[in-house]
Structure formats: structure tokens, C-alpha cells
């Protein structure tokens, strides 16, 4: 066997790729994980993540029926039922498998969706702090396990195209150390993390203004897997949606205000307005929906969240890493005034427009009837709070993009599908490269780490059973 011949080549060394690589090596395959990052702590969303494994904000070890309900509630039925089934059935096993590899978890808070946080936890402060935290530790551990089981992690190796022979995926071409290299493999798993880091793909699918999105993660997902697989005939789910959060607009110039605190809870209780003081979206659909809405709006860098003292001291303190007081500590912009005209002046918002919006909004809050508001304001998920108690606040917003939710269509075994619904033999995908699990019109989120770990395992196991079958 040539040194570049493998049973399985995995593209990407995030959680999806490392889980797939280790599991496949454990099952006896000769595995290479190709990772374009060159440092042992190469950046990826998995390493930078908060590290909580949950299914749609529910403990993955809850009964399957509870998980199904949570996925349905969050995605409103967008998730492909076959993929949902794998997710709810396999998430607890994925946690147990990670623990068997030596992964450590702690309970991160009172809410049960925080029961499985990779240890040690990140501090509860604003800013980016991943070094030595749970996800970083876990990825290093998986790299070590891969090595122990005979697999290899090839850093500074960027997959560029698939090798297709008679419609079957038989390996890939990659750039390694400046040279082009061919890796022969019985199967390939694409786990390169989405396309949020590619401005052109963002422009095509998400917003005409990709430069106005704040990258809220490592931005290493540049759509390579998507492009390679499409060339091989792969189908995709809708690509117009991303997982992200509302951030203080200073995130473009102040690294202390991202990826936390998120401003979702505040915006879901108050109003989001443009420079004219007009509401621009349904705040009641939550922060991920609003981040998508702002990204698609005609002026993504002109939205502000407006709220009052009650919201600041209530929902403002409710997040794990709360805007109150973390945003001020991180020197993020918070306009504050005792009266609305002064607030509008400070925030660069039209005072008359804002006063009119607030009059309508507060009247609706008083009646408990929001039907007359335009844009509509739903109240089932996040109850609108009146903005009437001084001091009043405004924070300039931007949409933070973490990963793209749309991607390659896969089946329950993680096999990449063509438009006709047939699997492309030898080609798998896992993690943020895949679609059909989260997203949809309401940007429903099911948990990126669970999706990565579950489908990493699934793809590795299916590939192993097929490859071992072929070898027999
Ligand atoms: C700040 C933050 C907080 C988060 N918190 C949570 C949380 O608490 N819970 C949760 O469930 N999710 C969370 N997420 C989301 C979660 O991190 C991701 O959904 C998940 O880690 C995706 O894993 P992945 O393996 O698919 O992608 P990634 O971790 O992004 O890995 C993809 C890898 O592929 C590599 N790559 C890309 N292209 C190529 C190529 N052509 N060749 C070779 N390598 C390539 C990249 O360099 C990268 O290392 C968070 C994300 C961020 C940024």
C-alpha cells in the first residue's frame, strides 16, 4: 500500500471529522484526517465553541420523545425525519463514546440543556477564550486517540477535489505543504465545517453584504466540501440560513465583545429598529432568527436594539454570559438616557420615528395584543416587554455568523445524496457541511456539536461496515 492510500480519508479536523476519524480507526480502518490548519491548535468552530452538547436546548439524555418534541419546536418540522431520528437516537451514545475516549463533561448550569459541557469550562466572561478549555482539550485528546489507533492527522493539508471513478468516490486531491497530492481511499467523509468563511458563497446564498456579517467563529469553513461534492453531483438543502447571534456592532473593532455576550435575550424582549426608528423584524422569533433577518436586511449595520431598565435588569442578566454587566465590562457601546429623544440622539436614530414606534409597541404590550404591529410581533416564544421604565437603552447591533446551516443532503447513514435521492457511493458528510438538520424559514437550531458528533460517528460506522464488507 502506498503511503497515501487509505481506507478512509476525512476532510476537516473539527469535532465531526475527529470523531469520524477516531471511530473509523477504532473499527480497524486505515484513516487519514486531512486538516488545512497548520498548528496543533488549528482554529475551527469546534475548538472555539462553548462546548455544551445539547439537542435543541434539551439534555441529549432525555427520553427520545422529549428530544423529538424539542427538535420539532425549534425547527417547526424543518428537520428531515430520517436525520432527526438518528440525532435523537444516537446523541446520548455520542456523549458516552466521547467519555470513553477520555472526554470529560460537567454540568454547566441549572438548565438541563447545560448538563453536558466539555470540561474544563470557559470562564463566564465576555470575549473569546478557548485555549485549554473543554473543546480544545477534547480535540487534542481525539488527535492523540487517532494516533494511538494507527490513524494520522495530516495538518496543513487542504482537500481540493474528489477523485471519482465511474460515479464512485475513490479518494481526493489535496494541497499539502505547497504540493498537490492524491489520496486514494475507499471512502471520503467531508467534515469541513460549512461555508461561512467564504464571502462569495455568502453573497450568493445569504446576503449581498457578506462583509457586514461579523464572523462569530473561526471562519475556517470555506465551502470546499460543498463545492467538491456538488461537482460530483451532490444535492444540497436550502443554503440561505445560518446559525449565529446578535452581537454589539463594536465586535468589528473590539475583540472583547464577541463571541459573547449575545444580545439575543434583550432583543427578544424589546425592539430592533433601523435608523428611522422603525421595527424591522419579528423579535419574538429569537436571536438566531433575528441575526438572519438583520443579515438579509437592506442595511445590516444600521440596526439597534432599544429597551428599558426592566429589560436590562431582567432578560439582560439571563444569558449564561449576560450582556448586563459583561458588555459594559468589555467596553461595548451602550447608549443610555432618561428620555427617548435623548436616547435617539445618542444612538443616531430618528427621534420622531422611534417615539411613534414605541407608542404603538407599548400600547400593544398594555393590551397584550400584538396583532396590529407591523412587522408582526409573535409572543409565544418570547414575551414582549413594555419599554417604559427609565433609563432607556440602545445598543448598535450586528449579525454574528457562526456556521451555515444549509449544506449537503445526506441520508441516515451520513451518505451524500444526489438530486435523484441516490447515495454517491463512497462519499459521506458530517457536521456543519451537511444540511437538512437545522435551518429552515425560522432558522431552527438543533445544536452544532451534537450534529457533528452524531453524524461523525454514523458516517464512520457505515463506511467501516461497507469497506470491511468489500475487503472480505
Ligand atoms: C463561539 C462558538 C460557540 C459555540 N458553542 C456551541 C455550543 O455550546 N454547543 C453547540 O452545540 N455548538 C456550539 N457551537 C457550534 C459548534 O462549534 C459547531 O457547530 C461544530 O463545532 C461544527 O463542527 P464541525 O466539525 O462540523 O466543523 P469545524 O469545527 O468548523 O471543523 C471543520 C474543520 O475543517 C477544516 N477544513 C475546512 N476546509 C478544509 C479543507 N478543504 N481541507 C481540510 N480541512 C478543511 C477547518 O480548518 C476546520 O478545522 C459554537 C460555535 C462557536 C464558534
Q: Whole-angstrom distance between the N-terminal and C-terminal Cα of the chain?
A: 17
The pLDDT of residue 468 is 86
In the reported structure, the alpha carbon of residue 14 is separated from the centroid of ligand 1 by a whole-number distance in angstroms of 5
Best residue among 9, 12, 447 to mutate for probing ligand 1, ranked by most atoms within 8 Å of CB: 12
pLDDT at 373: 98
Q: Which atom of ligand 1 is nearest to the CA of 403?
A: 19
**Ligand 1: distance of its center to the CA of 431 in Å?**
8
The pLDDT assigned to 442 comes to 96
Residue nearest to atom 2 of ligand 1 (CA): 49
Cα dist from 317 to 262, 314, 324, 427, whole Å:
11, 6, 5, 46
What spacing in Å lies between the alpha carbon of 360 and ligand 1's midpoint? 42
For ligand 1, what atom is nearest to the CA of residue 34?
43
Residue 2 is predicted with a pLDDT of 62
Q: How many residues does the chain have?
A: 472
Average pLDDT, stretch 437-463? 97
Strand 179-190 to 157-165 pairing: unpaired
Cis preceding-peptide flag for 261 (omega within 30 of 0): yes
**The pLDDT value given to residue 330:** 97
CA distances from 395 to 321, 338, 444 (A): 17, 15, 25
Ligand 1 midpoint to CA 432 (Å):
7
pTM above 0.95, yes or no: yes
Residues with CB under 6 A from ligand 1: 11-17, 34-37, 42, 44-46, 48-52, 158-159, 191-193, 216-217, 220-222, 224, 259, 402-403, 431-432, 447-450, 452
Q: Domains (ranges, CATH) in the chain?
A: 5-238+405-471 (3.50.50.60), 242-401 (3.90.700.10)
> How many beta carbons lie within 10 A of that of residue 352, not counting itself?
11
Output the CA torsion sign for 271, 272, 276, 278: negative
How much is the mean pLDDT over the chain? 97
Confidence check: pLDDT of 61 > 90? yes
pLDDT at 1 over 60: no
Residue among 20, 49, 139 to mutate when testing ligand 1 (max atoms within 8 A of CB):
49
Mutate to test the pocket of ligand 1, among 448, 456, 458 (most ligand atoms within 8 A of CB): 448
Comparing CA positions, the residue from 461, 447, 445, 429 lying closest to residue 194 is 429
Cα 70 to averaged position of ligand 1 atoms, centre (Å): 23
Span 328-353, mean pLDDT? 98
pLDDT of residue 469: 85
Nearest to 451 by CA among 464, 468, 439: 439
Residue with the nearest Cα to atom 14 of ligand 1? 49
Q: What is the pLDDT of residues 353-403, one digit of tens each?
A: 999 999 999 999 999 999 999 999 999 999 999 999 999 999 999 999 999
Residue 471 has pLDDT above 90, yes or no: no
Give residue 118 CA to ligand 1 midpoint distance, Å: 15
Q: Label each residue of the chain as H, E or C.
A: CCCCEEEEEEECCCHHHHHHHHHHHHCCCCEEEECCCCCCCCCCHHHHCCCECCCCCCCCCCCHHHHHHHHHHHHCCCCCHHHHHHHHHHHHHHHHHHHHCCCCEECCCCCHHHCCEECCCCCCCCCCCCCCCHHHHHHHHHHHHHHHCCCEEECCEEEEEEEEECCEEEEEEEEECCEEEEEEEEEEEECCCCCCCCHHHHHHHCCCCHHHEEECCCCCCCCHHHHHHHHCCECECCCCCEEEEEEEHHHHCCHHHCCCCCCHHHHHHCEEECCCCCECCCHHHCHHHHHHHHHHCCCCCCCEEEEEHHHHHCHHHCCCCCHHHHHHHCCCCCEEECCHHHHHHHHCCCHHHHHHHHHHHHHHHHHCCCCCCCCCCCCCCCCCCCCCCCCEEEEEEEEEEEEECCCECECCCCEEEECCCCEEEEEEECHHHECCCCECCCCECCCHHHHHHHHHHHHHHHHHHHHHHHHC
Ligand 1 atom nearest residue 52's Cα: 8
Amino acid at each position: 500500500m502506498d503511503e497515501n492510500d487509505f481506507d478512509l480519508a476525512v476532510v476537516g479536523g473539527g469535532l465531526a471529522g475527529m470523531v469520524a476519524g477516531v471511530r473509523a480507526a477504532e473499527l480497524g480502518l486505515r484513516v487519514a484526517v486531512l486538516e488545512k490548519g497548520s498548528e496543533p491548535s488549528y482554529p475551527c468552530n469546534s475548538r472555539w465553541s462553548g462546548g455544551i452538547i445539547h439537542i435543541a436546548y434539551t439534555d441529549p439524555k432525555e427520553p427520545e420523545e422529549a428530544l423529538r418534541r424539542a427538535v420539532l419546536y425549534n425547527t417547526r418540522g424543518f428537520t428531515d425525519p430520517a436525520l432527526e431520528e438518528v440525532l435523537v437516537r444516537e446523541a446520548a451514545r455520542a456523549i458516552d463514546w466521547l467519555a470513553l475516549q477520555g472526554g470529560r463533561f460537567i454540568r454547566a448550569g441549572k438548565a438541563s440543556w447545560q448538563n453536558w459541557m466539555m470540561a474544563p469550562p470557559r470562564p463566564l466572561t465576555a470575549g473569546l477564550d478557548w485555549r485549554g478549555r473543554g473543546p480544545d482539550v477534547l480535540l487534542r485528546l481525539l488527535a492523540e486517540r487517532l494516533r494511538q489507533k494507527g490513524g494520522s492527522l495530516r495538518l496543513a493539508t487542504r482537500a481540493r477535489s474528489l477523485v471519482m471513478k465511474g460515479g464512485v468516490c475513490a479518494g481526493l486531491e489535496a494541497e499539502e505543504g505547497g504540493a498537490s497530492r492524491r489520496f486514494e481511499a475507499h471512502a471520503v467523509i467531508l467534515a469541513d465545517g460549512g461555508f461561512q468563511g467564504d464571502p462569495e458563497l455568502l453573497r450568493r446564498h445569504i446576503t449581498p453584504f457578506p462583509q457586514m456579517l461579523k464572523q462569530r467563529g473561526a471562519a475556517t469553513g470555506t465551502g470546499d466540501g460543498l463545492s467538491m461534492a456538488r461537482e460530483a453531483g451532490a444535492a444540497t438543502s436550502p443554503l440561505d440560513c445560518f446559525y449565529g447571534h446578535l452581537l454589539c456592532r463594536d465586535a468589528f473593532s473590539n475583540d472583547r465583545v464577541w463571541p459573547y455576550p449575545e444580545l439575543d435575550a434583550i432583543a427578544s424582549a424589546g425592539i430592533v429598529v433601523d435608523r428611522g426608528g422603525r421595527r424591522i423584524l419579528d423579535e419574538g422569533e429569537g436571536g438566531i432568527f433575528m441575526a438572519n433577518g438583520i443579515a438579509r436586511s437592506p442595511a445590516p449595520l444600521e440596526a439597534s436594539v432599544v429597551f428599558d431598565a426592566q429589560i436590562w435588569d431582567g432578560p439582560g442578566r439571563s444569558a449564561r454570559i449576560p450582556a448586563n454587566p459583561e458588555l459594559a465590562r468589555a467596553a461595548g457601546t451602550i447608549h443610555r438616557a432618561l428620555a427617548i429623544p435623548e436616547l435617539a440622539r445618542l444612538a443616531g436614530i430618528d427621534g420622531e420615528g422611534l417615539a411613534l414606534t414605541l407608542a404603538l409597541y407599548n400600547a400593544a404590550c398594555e393590551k397584550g395584543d400584538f396583532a396590529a404591529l407591523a412587522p408582526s410581533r409573535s409572543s409565544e416564544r418570547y414575551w414582549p416587554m413594555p419599554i417604559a421604565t427609565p433609563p432607556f437603552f440602545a445598543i448598535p447591533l450586528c449579525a454574528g455568523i457562526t456556521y451555515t446551516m444549509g449544506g449537503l443532503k445526506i441520508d441516515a447513514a451520513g451518505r451524500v445524496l444526489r438530486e435523484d435521492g441516490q447515495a454517491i457511493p463512497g462519499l459521506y458528510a458530517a457536521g456543519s457541511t451537511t444540511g437538512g438538520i437545522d435551518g429552515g424559514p425560522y432558522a431552527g437550531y438543533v445544536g452544532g456539536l451534537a450534529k457533528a458528533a452524531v453524524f461523525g460517528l454514523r458516517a464512520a460506522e457505515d463506511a467501516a461496515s461497507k469497506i470491511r464488507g468489500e475487503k472480505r
